[in-house]
Amino acid sequence: MTQFRAHGHPEVDVLPTRHKTATINGQKVFYREAGPSDAPVVLLLHGFPSSSHMFRHLVPALADDYHVIATDHIGYGHSAMPKVDAFDYT
């Protein structure tokens, strides 16, 4: 575990967050992942117009007890940003 001190918060132990990508239907999707792979999964979904960055503090906080995954939608954050004529943004 890594110790860090957030602004105004006491030092806490957190598991590292891994930054990964997966290719889905030819598009690169970025996601943050933390926690043991055999733990119950928590999938953190966000609304428009945001990215997994909004969960950057929540992911490690949940990682002791859960396998946490937070994605960036296509067109946001670190995921692929295809042109509108090449991808159906629905």
- The DSSP string of 7-40 is TTS--EEEPPPEEEEEEETTEEEEEEEES-TTSP
Predicted confidence band of residue 10 (pLDDT cuts 50, 70, 90): low
Query: Can you tell me the mean pLDDT for 24-33?
Result: 94
pTM for this one?
0.77
Domain membership flag for residue 4: no
Amino acid at 36: P
Which residue segment(s) compose the domain that 62 sits in?
15-71
How many independent structural domains does the chain possess? 1
Name 31's bridge partners.
20, 71
Q: What pLDDT is attached to residue 9?
A: 53
Domain membership flag for residue 86: no
- Sign (positive/negative) of CA torsion 69, 30, 75, 61? positive
